[in-house]
Structure 1
Amino acid sequence: MVHLEENILKNYDLTILAKKIKEVRKNRKISQLDLSIEANIDRKTISRIENGINEPSFSTLYKISYILNHDFIKDYLNSSLKDYLIFNETFEKIIDKVENKLPFDDEEKIIIYLKDFTDIEFIKTSCKQVILFLKSMNEDLSKSEEREILIKALNSFTNKYDNFKIQSFSIFELRILMDIGMTYANIDNKKYLDLLNFVYDNTNKDSSLYPIISINLASAYIIVEDYDKCPEIINDAISYFLIRNKIPNPILYFTRALYKRLKNMDYKEDYDKAILIASLAKNYNLINKFEQAKSYYEKYNT
């Protein structure tokens, strides 16, 4: 959502974007003045953008998108660029399959093709970032090798890893930063928790990343034997699914069961839920892991 070339869009009806910005701002109950102060943009400029008079730069759109938690650059590009539409559709499929541990079809090939043939520098760099992200998932890599690739992916547009606490990140970049944090588990647990807590604190609770970072942060606290924060993190993530009438990620119940076992509480109900949900999804990899863990704990806790 950042670092787009300023001159790549032509013949875009600014009133469409203007109405969308005004609508989202009002829905968020943020005044033009408050938005101008937080974004460090003149209030008159905000007003002219919302009236379709001024064409915003991408740096301005990025600031407004970040503050209002809505991707206006995506709105801008969707109406104009076929390559972006192809990238966005393929990218979403990749992330969905990564999170659900499903095999790819042709998604990676499409991203590579788009990288090689698009004339749009932003799309080309975004494709390179995704390719690096996928490369980092190679199970033959050491943790340090994985981390090196992920940092390179995070820094695709500009150096964000150094002094990360003062940077702004897209959801995907937060996802990459989370994975960087995971490489520090049992190596540098302070860095591990520092990175995961940063991602957790900067992830909107409506984001699809929220339950994922919740799982990983709760697991991190279990690893360092700091259990007190786990229940709230896990329960909030389960609520993320329930309020949307969706079945929670089974790993949440698995993690809560692990927490309960370590606290000498009854954990079997949560293990059974984890196995049931994984079975409904036919996720046999998770089913095997959950059943093995359940058998192990039943064997040594009877």
Structure 2
Amino acid sequence: MSILVYIEHAEGKVKKTSLEAVSFANALSAKTGQGDVVAVALGTIADSELAAVGKAGASKVLHASDDRLTAGVIQAHASAVAQAFEKVGAKTVVLAKSSLGDAVAARLAIKINAGLVSNVVELPDTSSGYKVKRSIFTGKAFAETEVTTENKILAIKKNAVDLKTDGADATVEQLTVSLSDADFASKITATERATGEVLLPEADIVVSGGRGLKGPENWGMIEDLAKTLGAATGCSKPVSDIGWRPHHEHVGQTGVKVAPSLYIAIGISGAIQHLAGVNSSKCIVVINKDPEAPFFKAADYGIVGDAFEVVPKLNEALKAEL
């Protein structure tokens, strides 16, 4: 018996969130004695990249290299993972909570008759039954969910677990899966990806700006600070609504929800809709000249000052240290 981990990849690299899922599965295996951690990867990706998944705690990676799976057709992925699940004799599937992961997990739960828990933040409590702690209400509270099915699917919240990096390379085995025309009944005709050196949903550091920057012509200092920190750039909803920044940078309840290790908000007042998209961040730093800005109540660190004075000085100080 093994724990199966569904891993996602993009542009030839396994996503960090999937490596976190592997690390979670490794810790779960150590706690429950469920056997080895086996990952499954679908589509085109180099075996050398998959072998490195072992450093996060997997002993083996099953690779279904069918090119049709690269696009991420949801039903096809669910069918392929279900077949991998049966092959390794697993009782638990672990994956990262993401737009693709959520869709695959829901369909997979039906296929393998599994209980599904999403937004998981801790290892399950198995002292009396099987209880899982998960984040709810956009990170404002936690719920304890009891799973009574034999098969289980756990979708792990980003940055909820420590990433293991000291494992050995995993062995990579080819996995042949049987896929029908029905699995590809829906087709992805086009994909528009956000651009930039660091993509917002995957970023460990995010630098966001609001209307306090006064105009798009002043966004250079946001981009300069982000470049210094190796961060992604984001913005508040009003900024994207008036066209200063593209909509894919909108962070908030109706935009991209992020959970980086560090979130820096510059010139953003902190409306509740924005906070709902960032309150899972490990550390929040706010820079605003209004000492009454609501964002300061949610901040770990705050600087009351003019962004046009503070940010360039902060950037120069960081460049001197990094």
Q: Please, what TM-score do these two structures have when normalized by structure 1?
A: 0.32
Q: Which has the higher strand share?
A: 2
**Higher RCO structure (Cα 8 Å, ≥6 apart):** 2
Q: Which has the higher helix share?
A: 1
Q: Please, what TM-score do these two structures have when normalized by structure 2?
A: 0.30
